[in-house]
């Protein structure tokens, strides 16, 4: 394809967690189509390998890594695998997450820990360790995939909303800590029709209380990620970009 110079990622190394499906997979395909090499991480290696094969078919290099990014030792192993393969990471997309529904007073500690670990603890480890390396190497870009659940009432998913609110705060603070060499931004995603939507009430999908009147289609996340990652967005850091159909 003919590449727009504003969105040319030729030779860039992009690490995407949760990159084998959903919004992460859409971002993987978009970066690969624009010349990037990809590190694709999720818990299921087979799914990562399938996504990696798509990247290679587009002419890029790809590394598939099985990693539970809610666990710091696995985050560290993922980082080492990426640097061993490519020598650097130019763009980190912290996309992996989980949002199980649970009545707050019934939520077991183990589930609470899992939600906080995957949505905040792991992204913190990856962003800080890779962000430091980026800063020492001259620059880079980090994109944290957050949620409108951090900005509005989210009954029965309180821990998830709190974790994403922490992710938002982390984004702003790290954008200052690693400035001026590393830009750190967040995408605040609304409801998207990924695999998780299969469990949603069909009637609720028909009456989405959004100005656009519907949930998002996964490819609609792509332009936000490309814009924040583009070197042309060199004056954008510490931003929270809402991609939520106008949800308030």
> Is 167 among the domain residues?
yes
Structural domains counted in the chain: 1
Report pLDDT for 153: 82
Residue 197: predicted pLDDT: 55
Question: Could you give the residue numbers annotated as active site?
Answer: 160
Any domain includes 141: yes
Q: What is the DSSP string of 13-38?
A: EEEEETTTSHHHHHHHHHHHHTT-EE
Residue in 24, 23, 30 with CA at minimum distance from that of residue 9 = 30
Ramachandran category for residue 42: left, alpha or beta (phi over 0 → left; psi -120 to 50 → alpha): beta
Confidence of residue 198 (pLDDT cuts 50, 70, 90): low
The domain in which residue 82 lies consists of: 5-243
Question: Which helix (H) or strand (E) segment is 63 a member of?
Answer: strand 62-66
Report yes or no on 235 lying in a domain.
yes
65 backbone dihedrals φ, ψ, rounded to 5°: -135, 130
Is residue 237 one of the residues assigned to a domain? yes
| Residue 103 within any structural domain of the chain | yes
Tell me what the mean pLDDT of segment 119-133 comes to.
98
Residue 248, in any domain of the structure: no
Residue-wise pLDDT for 133-167, tens only, equals: 999 999 999 999 999 989 988 888 899 999 999 99
Q: Would you say 70 and 117 are in contact if contact means Cβ atoms under 8 Å apart?
A: yes
Flag whether pLDDT at 2 surpasses 70.
Answer: no
Distance of CA 190 to the CA centre of its chain: 13
Calculate mean pLDDT across residues 176-197. Answer: 91
**126: buried, middle or exposed (CB in 10 Å: 19+, 13-18, 0-12)?**
buried
| In contact, 221 and 31? CB cutoff 8 Å | no
The position carrying tokens 């290696």 is 45
Residue 162 within a domain: yes
CATH of the domain at 88: 3.40.50.720
Please check whether residue 56 lies inside any domain of the structure.
yes
> Quick one: pLDDT band at residue 87, thresholds 50, 70, 90?
very high
Residue 202: pLDDT band (50, 70, 90) is low
Average model confidence (pLDDT) for the chain? 93
Task: Please give the pLDDT value at position 98.
Answer: 86
């Amino acid at each position: 394809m003919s590449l727009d110079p504003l969105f040319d990622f030729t030779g860039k190394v992009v690490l995407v967690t949760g990159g084998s499906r959903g919004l992460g997979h859409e971002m993987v395909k978009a970066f690969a189509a624009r010349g990037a090499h990809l590190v694709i991480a999720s818990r299921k290696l087979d799914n990562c390998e399938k996504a990696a094969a798509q990247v290679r078919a587009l002419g890029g290099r790809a590394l598939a890594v099985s990693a539970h990014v809610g666990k710091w030792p696995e985050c560290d192993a993922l980082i080492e695998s990426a640097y061993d393969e490519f020598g650097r990471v130019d763009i980190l997309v912290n996309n992996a997450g989980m949002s199980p529904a649970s009545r707050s007073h019934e939520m077991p500690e183990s589930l609470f820990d899992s939600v906080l670990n995957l949505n905040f603890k792991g992204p913190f480890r990856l962003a800080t360790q890779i962000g430091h390396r980026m800063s020492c190497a001259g620059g880079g870009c980090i994109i944290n995939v957050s949620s409108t659940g951090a900005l509005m009432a989210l009954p029965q998913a309180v821990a998830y909303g709190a974790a994403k609110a922490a992710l938002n705060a982390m984004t702003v603070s790290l954008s200052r800590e690693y400035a001026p060499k590393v830009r750190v931004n967040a995408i605040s995603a609304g409801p998207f029709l990924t695999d998780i939507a299969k469990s949603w009430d069909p009637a609720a999908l028909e009456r989405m209380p959004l100005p656009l009147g519907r949930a998002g289609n996964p490819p609609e996340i792509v332009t936000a990620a490309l814009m924040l990652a583009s070197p042309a967005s060199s004056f954008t850091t510490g931003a929270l970009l809402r991609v939520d159909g106008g949800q308030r």
